Chain A
Amino acid sequence: MAQVSLQQIRKSYDGQHDVLAGIDLDIQDGEFVVLVGPSGCGKSTLLRMLCGLEEISGGEMQIANQRVNDLPPAERGIAMVFQSYALYPHMTVYKNMAFGLKVAGADKAEIARRIRHAAAILKIDHLLERLPRELSGGQRQRVAIGRAIVREPKLFLFDEPLSNLDAALRVQTRLEIAKLHRELKATIVYVTHDQVEAMTLGDKIVVMHDGRIQQAGTPLELYQCPANLFVAGFIGSPKMNLLDGVVAEAGGEGVSISLTGGKTVHAAVDGSGLSVGERVTLGIRAEHWQAGEQGSERFCGTVNLVEHLGEANLLYLTLEGGQDVVLRGDGNVEVTYDSQLSLSADASAFHVFDRDGQALRRLQPGNLKVARRAAALV
């Protein structure tokens, strides 16, 4: 097991345009790190560079305190699980798992022992003599993971391993990967474009966009204090509501923002760096609205559309100011289209982003849970 350190890692295919522009990242021993971002953000490239399948254009990469920039994949102590599983089609499951060990020159008894051990963990003992094409998607996935486990690597790399599975199997396999991480106490770097996967699996989530790390932190940090507009929009479902406005009053204790359409809202963020009249973006998550007038900041809107999720409703509203917002409401409450609805939120529920899209420090980020519970009780 090992920690990983990336310093100013760069990747460029033509020497001019950076696909990755200076990635700094530290991964602790035993940590489950999820690289997440939209397609083309460079997350897969970064994983392939960790793996040794892509050359590193600049910077320093260390795995277990050893510089690995120029080491071939096999000498880095890593194992990779590919998106398509990449099982050897002509080999049985057993031979698939044995291949890497044979290459490394392990003796037969040791190979058999490791495969039995991994097969038992993954519950694929009964499949060992089958060929990959005789397996279901989920079983192939397990074999691919098994092939990684038997090599007892310092670092596991997963490249979107769930994207070829159907929805039900995806949730199940996700849980199994989380369980596996706890059992093996392995260091894992996992790439996905699915923020739910990222939130549920990761000890640490690294949000990437345009070849840069936008924010790295625990799932809760990213959820409560997104560092910029991109992260705010990317993490959370449905997307955070974003409303344009200008600063009416600013200070260390809070900011008053006058929204387009005339309404003024108070947000509990550190606004000491703002000046009056500056353009800002106000953000609030759908689940932090409260139906009714319990919150300090009150709005009124017209219901355009309702999505029934069962435990909750997603209400799509147009506020008096003309902005479209989405609210996550109690699933048991019937809401009719075109009805007027009053909604509110506490000042602590708001996020504020400056002109450049950078978030201002929230004063009571943890308050949200309380606010949410209160909403549920009412």
Chain B
Amino acid sequence: MNRIARWQIAIFLAPALLIYASFSAWPLLDTLGLGFFNTDEAGQQHFAGLANYYKLLLDPQWSDGFWNAMGNNVEFFFIHMLVQNPIGLLLAALLSLKGVRFAKSYQTLLFLPTLLSVVIIGFIWQLILSPLWGVAESLLAQVGLAEHFQPWLGEEGSALLTLALISVWQFIGIPMMLIYAALIAIPEEVIEAARVEGASAWRIFWQIRLPLILPTLGLVTILTYVGNFNAFDLIYSVKGALAGPNYSTDILGTYFYRTFFGYQSQIGSPTMGAAVATLMFLVILAGVGVYFFAVQRRLQRHAF
């Protein structure tokens, strides 16, 4: 065999490296860099050190909105963790039971919303929940719960929760499929061994199956985290960039949008936007870092 020369390695790596560098690495670095500049009235950019971050985190004119968005985003994430992932686990556990009729059909149906455009999802749910012509009120009336109907999307107290639940409804299929795949990978004989030893189905789930799918649950958690802190489209399609009422559904993505592009009376600022984007990047990086170094190292993938 011929020895491979260094220039050959370089040539074969070049196309992928070039694409990755120009479309992923460079824009990221450029954004990080742009955050250290500010723009004067003439549109000139000047190096400003940490001034943008100082404004964002400490100047009440900016920081109130930023911390509000951050708090909402954390809430958005926790709702997903508390609702989406446990239900995904439950559905996966039910689907992986033996002899469930139409299991494949349920799987497809539950996964279907994930395939739909977020804009469509937002629009459909807006129509369903509309207090004027929405079907939700009359459906509740059918079961005698009409007086419990509220314009959930329009009230400050419930809008974020409602949007989070819509997002859960849409994306439930992803944790379900990942966990289902992990559950059916557990060899049948391991479960049978536990049955022979007298363990109940409940005990087998908590003490055998769940520990064996922990790596997948970790993966689902980090995917949810990244997805939620990057979220933008659902809020934008339902509530617009102002994320009303009164910014109660504002998350980092919509906050970034207003800062960067501007909205109504607010003038867009690429440099401030870059600073927001950098903070979002750091938040996600921190989360992923914690997962990789603290969690994933302790979880062991089990070879069966």
Contacts and interface: CB of A to CB of B under 8 A. Distances in A.
Interface of A: 51-53, 72-75, 78-80, 82-84, 86-90, 99-100, 103-104, 131, 133, 147, 151
A74 B302 contact: no
A151 B199 CA distance: 13
Contacts of B207: 99
B193 A86 contact: yes
A99 B196 contact: no
A247 B66 CA distance: 103
Given A73-B198, A90-B211, A100-B198, 4 more contacts: A82-B189, A86-B189, A86-B192, A89-B190
Nearest to B207: A99
Contact of A83 (B189, B190, B195, B198): B189
B117 interface: no
Contacts of B194: 88, 99
B274 to A, nearest CB: 45
B304 interface: yes
Contacts of A100: 197-199
B275 interface: no
B212 interface: yes
Nearest to A76: B196
Nearest to B303: A133
Contacts of B203: 103
A234 B198 CA distance: 37
B166 interface: no
B208 interface: yes
A74 B197 contact: yes
A99 B300 contact: no
A52 to B, nearest CB: 7
21 contacts: A72-B198, A74-B195, A74-B196, A75-B198, A78-B196, A79-B197, A80-B193, A82-B192, A82-B193, A84-B187, A84-B189, A86-B187, A86-B193, A88-B194, A89-B302, A89-B304, A90-B211, A90-B302, A103-B199, A133-B302, A147-B197
B207 to A, nearest CB: 8
A73 B192 CA distance: 10
A86 B186 CA distance: 10
Contacts, number: 66
Nearest to B191: A86
Contact of A88 (B190, B196, B300): B190
Contacts of A88: 190, 193-194, 208
Given A89-B304, A90-B302, A133-B303, A99 B199 contact: yes
A289 to B, nearest CB: 45
Contacts of B187: 84, 86
A89 B303 contact: yes
A53 B190 contact: no
A51 B196 contact: yes
Given A84-B187, A88-B208, A89-B212, A151 B197 contact: yes
Interface string B168-212: 000000000000000000010110111111110001000110011
A99 B197 contact: yes
Contacts of A151: 197
Contact of B195 (A73, A89, A104): A73
A80 B194 CA distance: 10
A86 B190 contact: yes
A53 B198 CA distance: 12
Nearest to A144: B193
A90 B194 CA distance: 13
B198 A103 contact: yes
A270 B303 CA distance: 59
Contacts of B189: 82-84, 86
Residue among B192, B193, B196, B211 with max Cβ neighbours from chain A (10 Å):
B196
A222 to B, nearest CB: 30
Given A88-B190, A90-B302, A73 B199 contact: no
B186 to A, nearest CB: 9
